[in-house]
Amino acid sequence: MSATHSESRAETRAEIRLPTQELRDDLAFFTKVLGMRLDMIYPADNPEVAVMSGHGLRLRLQKGAPEAPGTIRILTADPDAFAGGARELQAPNGTRVEVDELNPPLVLPETQHAFVVRRLADQAPWVIGRAGMHYRDLVPSRLGGAMIASHIRIPDGGPVPDMVHYHKVGFQLIFCIKGWVDVVYEDQGPKIRLTAGDCFIQPPEIRHRVLEASDGIEVIEIGVPAEHVTEIDHQMTLPTPHLRPEREWQGQRFVHNVGATGRFAPFRVPGFEARDTTIAANTKGVASVMVARPTGPAPWTRHKGDILFTFVMSGQMTLEGEGKEPFRLSPGDAFVIPPGLATRYADATPDLELLEVSLPGNPATETL
């Protein structure tokens, strides 16, 4: 690349043009009220154009410009100290200005409890989402926005065109049920390969990037709340130089749990044993993720948690619910049991394996 071309690219700018009827009045508003800087104005004897910059924005106010006044959103860490604390203003030219939090607190919607059964055989075809990935929505109601559960597959593997990014979430799980995927995480060393039976929890705002996946990979992804923001980090390069396994993000540690090394112990539901993925300990009880399998007949039980989501990874069972029709479940099926509803996991086949995600972790369970 020539020096001339490099210099030209470095000097490239972008502006937003806004109309003005009386430039003097708009100048006072944008500089004194919004704290922007005047960069250029002309002609000197009777100005018709002014260019200002500030808050990451460059504006060109021009008399007779054909555009509508539009809306500007200003995000700041201290909205009460900006523009006298006003959250909505209007410039003399009609431009609307909204002032909001730069980092608004995460809002966790109240769970709208429901008994949900989502069977693979009854569902419409997979939906093709971003980057050619196929999606199944496992909880269409999202429990009122409290959580999202997705079954995701990539038919054709290979390098993934991903960028360093992070999610503003309360909890996020990636559980691999088929194939493998390579991911690199902030302060967790070189790339990590997630294989079938393994899981990650991605603490809130940990930077990461997906590198490559196998053909036919399938994962279960759980996010709380259902709607959350994903931001791209253009500054960070992964992997980072330091290995910090004890680091916490908003009280949670990164977890890479390897299924092959897990040990089974009695489960909260009698007649089952479970492998603890250590997620309850590393999120300080925000959530627990267990892999459960039968050891004998199971009684009726009732849990006292909030969200209890289960995905059938292998085998079959009949889900019985108080006042509900029984459901014979097979691999790919999922269900949500609301607190207080009596249920029973009946007629389980020996190869049954369940993925259970509960928030908060390890809910108290009553045997009936």
Instruction: Place 127 in a pLDDT band, splitting at 50, 70 and 90.
Output: confident
Residue 7 one-letter amino acid: E
pLDDT of residue 9: 58
- What DSSP letter does each residue of 113-161 carry, written as one string? ---EEE-GGGSPPPEE-GGG-EEEES-TTGGGGT-EEEEEEESS-EE--
> Which region among 2-11, 253-262, 348-357 has the lowest average model confidence (pLDDT)?
2-11
From residue 243, alpha-carbon distances to 133, 246, 254 in Å are: 31, 9, 12
State the Cα–Cα distance between residues 123 and 333, nearest whole angstrom: 10
Instruction: Place 116 in a pLDDT band, splitting at 50, 70 and 90.
Output: very high
pLDDT of residue 161: 85
pLDDT at 241 over 90: yes
Q: Could you tell me where the DSSP H helices lie in the chain?
A: 3-10, 23-28, 279-282
pLDDT at 271 over 70: yes
Output the CA torsion sign for 219, 220, 226, 228.
negative
Tokens 């900006």 locate to 82
Q: How far is CA 356 from the centre of its chain?
A: 19
pLDDT at 324 over 70: yes
State the Cα–Cα distance between residues 51 and 255, nearest whole angstrom: 49
Name beta bridge partners: 165.
Answer: 208, 232
Q: State mean pLDDT over 141-166.
A: 92
pLDDT of residue 3: 52
pLDDT of residue 130: 64
pLDDT at 310 over 80: yes
135-147 pLDDT, tens digit per residue, is 899 999 999 999 9
Closest CA to 204 of 154, 152, 254, 161: 254
Average per-residue pLDDT for the chain = 93
State the Cα–Cα distance between residues 13 and 6, nearest whole angstrom: 14
Closest CA to 255 of 287, 277, 285, 284: 277
pLDDT at 308 over 60: yes
Separation of first and last alpha carbons in the chain: 75
49-100 pLDDT, tens digit per residue, is 999 999 999 999 999 999 999 999 999 999 999 999 999 999 999 999 999 9
pLDDT of residue 351: 98
Buried/exposed code over 214-238 (b: 16+ C-beta within 10 A; e: otherwise)? beebbbbbbbbbbebeeeebeeeeb
Q: State mean pLDDT over 217-243.
A: 95
**CB-CB contact of 222 with 277 (8 Å):** no
Burial grade of 69 (CB within 10 A; 0-12, 13-18, 19 or more): middle
Q: State mean pLDDT over 346-363.
A: 97
**CB-CB contact of 358 with 280 (8 Å):** no
Q: State mean pLDDT over 331-360.
A: 98
Kindly list the structural domains of the chain, giving each domain's residue range(s) and its CATH number in brackets, ordered by start.
3-101 (3.10.180.10), 124-256 (2.60.120.10), 261-367 (2.60.120.10)
Q: What is the dihedral of CA 225, 231, 237, 240, to 10 degrees?
A: -30
pLDDT of residue 131: 61
CA-based R_g, the chain, Å: 27
